[in-house]
Amino acid sequence: MLKVKIGDMAPDFTLKSNMGEYVTLSQFRKTRNVILFFYPMNESPVCTREACAFKDSYEAFKELDAEVIGASSQDVKSNKSFADHHNLPFLLLSDMANKVRSLYGVPTTLGFIPGRATYVIDKEGLVRQVFSSQFQPARHAKEAICTLKRMKNLG
């Protein structure tokens, strides 16, 4: 069961990125919406499809004033290699101790596979959408874009 739900304030955190810099979620407040997606493992076929779906939609995310950020339990070196290999234009954060994954309550599959969940967080830090699906990786980017478009039309 996801701990963080629609309407909740997104818990703040700081993690190291594939660029070697520390990134804090709240640094985007007031300036950008954030698409935070948790994925299990670099270079696995399903995770690669998910990351590439975000990459393929990256221009749409930029037009919708959103920062895309991936998070996994992989180390910084692995995240950098994954980003470089697939030309990913967004940050990948290293959550090696799974503290942020746990903070958000991202579920596991079969009790041991790290879950896959995407959070759309608005400029005020409120969670506007949560999408969790282990086996529909491309839908994560599509759902996030739909949510951002709804937010833009309402706002």
Q: For the packed helices 137-154 and 45-56, what is the interaxial angle rounded to 10 degrees?
A: 30
Q: Clarify whether 47 is annotated catalytic.
A: yes
β-strand 91-94 against 66-72: which pairing, if any? parallel
Tell me which of 47, 92, 127, 145 is the catalytic residue: 47
- Report whether 2 contacts 36 (CB < 8 A): no
Count of alpha carbons within 13 Å of 40, Cβ hemisphere only?
20
Residues pairing with 38 in the sheet: 71, 117
Active-site annotation, residues: 47
